Amino acid sequence: MADQGIFSAGGITVTSEGTFDPENHWEETGAGQTSHVDHANVLYQIPEDETGLPMVFLHGYGQSRMGWMTTPDGREGWSDMFLRKGHSVFLIDEPRRGEAGATSVSGDISTKTLDQRWYTQFRIGRWENGTSVPNEGSQFPNDEESLDQFFRQMTPDTGMTSDMGADFDNETVARAVAATIDEVYERTGKNSILVTHSQGGGPGWTAAQYTDHIAAIVAVEPGGAPAADSADYQAVLEKKIPIVMYFGDYIDNGDPAIQATAAWQSMRQTCYDFEEAYTAAGGNCTVIDLPEEGITGNDHFMFQDLNNDVIADHVENWIQENVES
């Protein structure tokens, strides 16, 4: 490792009315005081043998950068894998999440018993009679200890009240992501490959409106893609950003009795629609269906599955073939 550290990027400062009295600094009104909020917190690592572009990683709903750093069963995560491939990695905790929990709006962080909902939503399998039943051929590490670790990596959003992300502040996160990418450029002189997951896909598209330093976007099962008449679409097209989107298993062959199956089919279809429009307009976009590539058994967290190294290799090959360094 040549260097590593942590910094904050983006955000705002809010100020309370009144005048701060240094001789009464324990008073609780906050009069005249400030709070630094809504920023990203970024952990970075730079390898000694840096041969590729920097990679900026943005997590999804209920997650933090931890998901890129390890797996539920303690194997190597994508951040280490891509370091070994010669990329600097910049791991974001988005505004109001993880180490960037300072928020300008009040959220609900009360205890919510939702583990089984997410196990199902993430296409890991079914939870029946108090037991986890993984999908046939699943690559998820489904032993008891790994499940415990997986559920404990979930973390609340300090600025949301919805338990499904309905009031997620896409704009605030997008601006912080763009600020991160600009900071990477200031530090390295290089554009960044932006890697997003799930809910993080939304601000990943929008960030292109606020920075000129995105070299490519790798979207892992984004919750959809921009329509061709949207500002997000126009931004990535005008900047000619190469894009690849990855989807795992149990979508076409998912259990139709589970609500999430149709939802995943719909979200993936928006990505196919994007690919068609983007390509027709001269852009470079590919949607990768892993089962069609002969890679099966992956759920929503393919970067933590037992074959996460195989998928990392696939991503690196795409980068080598499609992204100018």
Confidence of residue 29 (pLDDT cuts 50, 70, 90): confident
Phi, psi of 150 (to 5 degrees): -60, -50
Question: Of all residues in the chain, what percent carry a pLDDT higher than 70?
Answer: 100
In angstroms, rounded to a whole number, what is the distance separating the alpha carbons of residues 191 and 182? 8
Is there a contact between 223 and 201 (Cβ–Cβ < 8 Å)?
yes
In angstroms, rounded to a whole number, what is the distance separating the alpha carbons of residues 36 and 100? 10
Confidence of residue 20 (pLDDT cuts 50, 70, 90): very high
Which alpha helices (H) appear in 75-169, and where do they start and end? Answer: 78-84, 115-121, 144-152
In angstroms, rounded to a whole number, what is the distance separating the alpha carbons of residues 91 and 69? 9
Q: What is the per-residue pLDDT for 247?
A: 99
How many angstroms separate the Cα of 16 from the Cα of each of 21, 36, 106, 180? Answer: 13, 12, 16, 27
> Average per-residue pLDDT in the chain?
97
Q: Which residues, in sequence order, are CB contacts of 113 under 8 Å at separation 6+? A: none
Confidence of residue 26 (pLDDT cuts 50, 70, 90): confident
Q: What is the per-residue pLDDT for 141?
A: 98
Give the range among 118-132, 169-183, 296-310 with minimum mean pLDDT: 118-132
Q: What is the per-residue pLDDT for 325?
A: 81
279: nearest Cα among 220, 236, 222: 236
In angstroms, rounded to a whole number, what is the distance separating the alpha carbons of residues 52 and 87? 5
Using only C-alpha atoms, the chain has a radius of gyration, in whole angstroms, of 20
83: nearest Cα among 43, 50, 41, 58: 50
Q: What is the per-residue pLDDT for 179?
A: 99
191-231 per-position pLDDT tens digit: 999 999 999 999 999 999 999 999 999 999 999 999 999 99
| Region 134-158 average pLDDT | 97
75-131 per-position pLDDT tens digit: 999 999 999 999 999 999 999 999 999 999 999 999 999 999 999 999 999 999 999
The two tokens of residue 229 are 């008449």
Q: What is the per-residue pLDDT for 28?
A: 83
Q: What is the per-residue pLDDT for 192?
A: 99
Phi, psi of 75 (to 5 degrees): -85, 180
Instruction: Evaluate if residue 291 carries a pLDDT over 90.
Output: yes
In angstroms, rounded to a whole number, what is the distance separating the alpha carbons of residues 303 and 72? 11
Instruction: Evaluate if residue 142 carries a pLDDT over 90.
Output: yes
235-284 per-position pLDDT tens digit: 999 999 999 999 999 999 999 999 999 999 999 999 999 999 999 999 99
Q: Which residues pair with 245 in a beta bridge?
A: 219, 287
| Region 131-151 average pLDDT | 97
Q: Name the residue ranges covered by the structural domains of the chain.
A: 3-9+38-322
Q: What is the per-residue pLDDT for 168?
A: 96
| Region 122-146 average pLDDT | 96
For domain 3-9+38-322, give the CATH superfamily.
Alpha/Beta hydrolase fold, catalytic domain (3.40.50.1820)
A 10 A CB-CB count for 23 gives 4
Instruction: Evaluate if residue 173 carries a pLDDT over 90.
Output: yes
